[in-house]
Structure 1
Amino acid sequence: MVIDPSTSNQEWDLEIKPHDSVLNLHLKDVWNYRDLLWLLVRRDFVSFYKQTVLGPLWFFIQPIFTTIVFTFVFGGLAKIGTSHVPHALFYMAGTIAWNYFADCLTKTSTVFKDNANIFGKVYFPRLIMPLSIVFSNLVKFGVQFLLFLIVFFYFLFKYHYAPAELNGDKVEPNLFLLLFPVLIALMAILGLGLGLIITALTTKYRDLAFVVTFGMQLMMYATPVIYPLSEASEKYRPFIKANPMTGLIETFRYGFTGGGQFYLDSFLYSVVACFVLFFLGLVIFNKVEKDFVDTV
């Protein structure tokens, strides 16, 4: 066979190759298809609220009503402590952080099942689809975070000018709030990593999709969303710390409010767990996406 030297250095848009290693994650292809990523993010954001009456206002309504219910039930009736942080600020901090992680995991966990028709007809890096979910949820989180900042500055102003009205509560932000971008990135890769593992498994075990739906609701109670870690029983605290989201939410809330404390061991464990699960998710997803159409 004679090879034309004039074609040896050409760059091709698509190369058809035999199956390669599962560790070859084709991240360069993802970058080349970044325009498709932003198009999918825009599609998710627009289509989800397109035929609703209130539209994007649901971004605000959800955390507001959740905070009100949590304040009434857990703060008022159950009398669960909040490390001297105003109840509204405490619950909203935990709610918006947990919702971002939960949305990333839940929606990513059904990527193969929801997009089987598209994946079977058109080529593009399959990782684009779960990445678009993470980024579209980041937009939602950004809107809810603005609401959190309004509540945060309200109590911060009140703390300095009318401390007696807080009835002993405090709002003392500290340097740990500088970790905010890191915490959001870790929540994103944790939700993405777990979601990739679950969506790979659901190609054969459809029951997992139902388990994830109510499992996330139960998992929230094993995470310090409605209570600080310091209020948890010593007997169950090691199990709560085993949840990677524990160190992230505790650090997020401590940085902005000063309530509770910074658990270095829990935070470092969360960092390691996030990257390990993210890498495992990428490898498993890369392995399954080659032939998942045969099983979905």
Structure 2
Amino acid sequence: MANLNRLQGAVSNPGRALTELNRLYHTRGGFGYNPDGVDVFAEDWDTLVLLDACRFDEFKRQIKLSGSLEKRISRGATSAEFVRGNFGNRQLHDVVYTSANGWFAKLQEEIDAEVHQFTFVERDAVQGLTSKPQAVTDRAIQAANDFPNKRHVVHYMQPHQPYLGPTGQRLNFGSTLAETVEQNDLSQREVKDAYQENLSLALDAVERLVESIDGKIVISADHGEHLGERERPLPVSFYGHMGGLYTPELVEVPWYVLESDRRRKTVREEPSKEGSNPDIEAVEQNLRDLGYKV
């Protein structure tokens, strides 16, 4: 019935209708996430850095750190799918999660997930819509110092819109990337410029993080982003991301490995009570403002 309702709602928008058909094609197995994606917690790392909506190709163009780049398939085409697919039904008591993305806080009880500590980074940019990447780095460095015997996940909101670079600063942001493109009458080139500037800001912050912590670091993404390319199997241009739409632009993500001789010795301990407990209603409203259905 839910799929029927979504199709009925797309009838007035032919492009959206084709996107919905593409989504149904990719999710015909009935999973709540991409079952072909990598289980990030089964991989070897001390710190996992997640860039939100970061495409493999754009990351490859910009990364300047001395590491090795691989391509992986994500379990999500959205942050919610990524969280469900990787955190669901797990007690990750050796993990500290520092995040500017609210989906873990929103879904934690529903998916029966635990980490040792979750810290939600304050929204300090674009009227509370997003967090500056340097603020995430500050909190992540503090977490690494406070919990030297844990694996750390650090989740930045960039390059996901709203865009903070020179191009983005002149834009009026809609609740989705497609709305932002329409409201500002943007060309595909302008969208890519804004996206690339946002990614550059994030990578600058990540570089400072890498310089400040020990251990093996992997830089990846929760999912990618469509920047006006045509979807598959039905050819329709699309901006943004959608759950269940497992196109290469959305599920091919970087896996950038920075090796280290100084590995972290981790221990599992019961969840800490010192982490931030975000206001779930505020988290849900922020997710709505970013275009998500909650």
Do these two structures clear the TM 0.5 threshold for a shared fold by scoring above it?
no
Higher relative contact order (CA 8 A, sep 6+): 2
Structure (1 or 2) with the greater helix fraction: 1
Superposition TM-score, scaled by structure 1 size: 0.28
Superposition TM-score, scaled by structure 2 size: 0.28
Greater C-alpha Rg: 1
